[in-house]
A and B are shown apart, each in its own frame.
Chain A
Amino acid sequence: MKAAVITFPGSNCDRDLAVAFAAAGFEVVRVWHKDSDLPSGLDVVGIPGGFSFGDYLRCGAIAARAPIMAAVVRFAEAGGHVLGICNGFQVLCEAGLLPGVLMRNAALRFVCRPARLQVATTDSAFTHLWRPGAEAVIPIAHHDGNYRADAETLARLADEDRIAFRYAENPNGSAADIAGILSQNRRVLGLMPHPERAIDAALGSGDGAFLFRGLAAALAPAETGA
């Protein structure tokens, strides 16, 4: 299995994300934002956290228009899996791969602490290792994690079981306590919490490893069956 991790100027979780993919058994290729093509034979693309382009204009807005993102959009539209974490979630929303937008936290404060999450659906390659209704502790570290979408979009996300994670205690004013959402084909996940910072109990929580191991388990058969 092969994973690509994109690096933008200002990304700062790209190495952690590469380590998390590798620990789950992925071969990892690092990709620069100015590249116009993704490596061949990819199973998943990871868009890391950080402050791409200094959060200028809007978080993720400039990165979403970087040359590599056209290739990421094509990859997603062809059914590829894409994981966007924190700033990566903001980039996926700005790129139109996920609906809605992430606004400044309602209390205006940067929040940085472990967050208790409810795994709201287990119907995805990212979340299938959890038991339905399970709780996960995964750290959050963001200033703009307040998820907003119109009422119709929020209703559709709920109806289609596309809310992947909800906060047990809402830290940022996010609509419907949303911490992460899936695309319509369930193969693009954006979430504000950082599972790559929780892949070993020595880091305070190993709960994030379920996501990467689950992804590896879900994608491996496709490779051998091809």
Chain B
Amino acid sequence: MRVRVQVMLKEGVLDPQGEAVRHALGALGFEGVAGVRQGKLIEIDLAATDRAAAEVEVRAMCDRLLANTVIETYRIELVE
């Protein structure tokens, strides 16, 4: 089973990399870019086939390693 984990900075946490990308887009002439947030996409191939069990396991992976919940949030998507 393939699982996608999306890790983003929490709302309200300054994202200097996203800001730099926003400025660069402006410099290229793309107008009307109100904001850019940069995050991470992590794909995990699991041996598990049970969706509920997989989600529990990936949630534990997120809490213990993949995200730092002081500043980040995560979203789990079971892709199959």
B52 at the A/B interface (Cβ < 8 Å)?
Answer: no
9 closest A-B pairs (Cβ-Cβ)? Answer: A101-B70, A108-B16, A104-B16, A101-B71, A106-B16, A101-B68, A108-B20, A58-B68, A148-B71
Count how many pairs of residues, one from A and one from B, have CB atoms less than 8 Å apart in the complex: 34
Most A CB atoms within 10 A — which of B13, B14, B70?
B70
In the bound complex, what is the Cα–Cα distance between A47 and B16 (angstroms)? 27
Shortest beta-carbon distance from A9 to chain B in Å = 17
Chain B residues near A103 (CB, 8 Å)? Answer: 13-14, 16, 71
**Which of the residues A57, A58, A99, A108 comes within 8 Å of B17, measured between beta carbons?**
A108
Complex Cα–Cα for A106 and B28 (A): 22
Within 8 Å CB of A150, what residues of B?
Answer: 70
Question: Given the complex of chains A and B, what is the CA–CA distance between A61 and B66 in angstroms?
Answer: 9
- Report which B residues bind A (CB closer than 8 A): 13-14, 16-17, 20, 64-66, 68, 70-71
Q: B16 and A107: CB pair below 8 A?
A: yes
CB distance from A137 to the nearest CB of B (A): 27
Q: Which residues of A contact B68 (CB under 8 A)?
A: 58, 61, 94, 101
A100 lies within 8 A of B70 (CB): yes
The interface residues of chain A lying within 8 Å CB-to-CB of B70 are 99-101, 148-150
Q: How far is the CA of A107 from the CA of B19 in the complex (A)?
A: 10
Where chain B touches its partner, the secondary structure class is helix
A57→B7 CA distance, assembly (Å):
11
Mark contacts of A5-16 with chain B using CB atoms, 8 A cut-off: 1 yes-contact digit, 0 otherwise: 000000000000
List of A residues within 8 angstroms of B66 by Cβ: 57
Residue in B16, B65, B71 whose beta carbon sits within 8 Å of that of A105 in the complex: B16
- Which partner residue on chain B sits nearest A172 by CB separation? B16
Q: Does A65 sit within 8 A of B, measured CB to CB?
A: yes
Assuming the contacts A57-B65, A61-B65, A65-B65, asked whether A104 and B71 have C-beta atoms less than 8 A apart, the reply is no
